Each structure stands twice: as C-alpha cells, then as structure tokens.
Amino acid sequence: MTLFKQHFSGFPGYGISGIICGILSALIFTIIHDIFISNIWFSLTAMLISGAICGFCVAGSFYLLFQNPSIRLWWKYNFIFVLLFMVLGVLSVIFYEPVATVGELLVRNEPPRELITQAAPLTIVFIFVSSIVLGRFYGKKFVHYVMIFLTCSILILVLGLNVSLIGLVFFPSDTLYLVLETYALIILINLVYCGTFVIIQWKSLRT
C-alpha cells in the first residue's frame, strides 16, 4: 500500500489537470479553426471529449515516467509528440503516392474515410514503433510501457489520421499552406495544453 501511494499518489491530480488542459486546448482549437478555416462547432462535444482523453493520457504518462518532474521535462516530453507527428507526415510522403487531390477533399467537406483506411497500415505500424522507441528511452516498468502505448495510440488516432494520409493527397503549390495549417494547429493546441498545465501544476514541477 505504501509503494502504491509512493508511485500513484499524484496520478489523479495530474490526470485531472491533463483533462482540464485538454478540454481547454480543444476549445481553443475549435475557435481558431472557426475563425481561420471553417466552422466545426457541430463537432464540439467530440472535440472536447477527445481533448480530455488526450490530455489525461499525456499528463498521466508523464507522471508515471518521471520521478522528478520539471517544467523543462514537461515541455520536452510534449515536444517529442509534436516531433512524432512531423515524422509521420514525412513517412506518409515517402511511402505513399497521391491518389486524390486536395480540391476533391475540400469539395466533399467530410472526413476522407477511404484515405484513412488506405493509410491505416502506416498509422498502425507507426503507433507500435513510436511506442517501442519511447519505451526504450523512458520505460522501466510494465505500467510505463502500457501507458506509453496508450498515449501514442490515442494521440495518433485522434490527431494523426489527417497527417498519415498526407502522402495520398496531391497538394498544388498554392495549397501547401493547408499542410502548414495542420501542423500549426497541432503546435498551437500543444502550446495551450502545456502552458495551462504548467500554471495548474506549478507547485509540483521543478523549475
């Protein structure tokens, strides 16, 4: 019981903070998307739930992986996931050939389910490989590997599906900004999430 308290006593607090920050970042994402891209308020509930789940997983895994958490480690840990999304996009371009144009997708104005399915092998392999790599560097116990795999899976399935299919879409030069927008939004919600978490958990993080 003492060992359990030692390793998990702060987990609920980190988890709740992660949920709050995830919800806030999802709300900010929806607002920014509405202002600069398109109206997605109809999916707000799903966005907030996704944000809460992602926020919980990242904060929870961070708590379990680092015995002496600091602000620097927190930002570094989150930057790793942003980097993973960038790598996923590059791999998609390397392994896939375009089978649709961005214009066709914009006209349809719905999730490109067939492209997501076509990119599924890369998505699945990437989840396992990224989990193994992170586990190699940060995992020490079985619970660490489980939490790392859960976090990678949730983040990539929630935020990375549009990234994994980039190679399947032909982007004319005047539409490449759409790819940049995708990554800009990922970075934005990460900054909101990380910054808010630092404010909430300031006392528990070393400076």
* 129-133 contacts, C-beta under 8 A, 24 or more apart: 130/84, 130/156
Whole-model pTM: value is 0.90
Residue-range domain boundaries for the chain: 10-204
Half-sphere exposure of 20 (CA within 13 A, CB side): 13
**Could you tell me if 19 and 52 are in contact, meaning their C-beta atoms sit under 8 angstroms apart?**
yes
What is the spatial distance between Cα 149 and Cα 156, in angstroms, rounded to a whole number? 11
- Structure token digits, residue 199: 């404010």
CA angle centred on 126, ends 124 and 129, rounded to 5°: 115
Per-block average pLDDT, block size 10, for the chain (207 residues)?
A: 54 94 95 85 92 96 93 96 95 95 81 92 97 94 95 95 93 86 90 96 88
- Structure token digits, residue 119: 């990119």
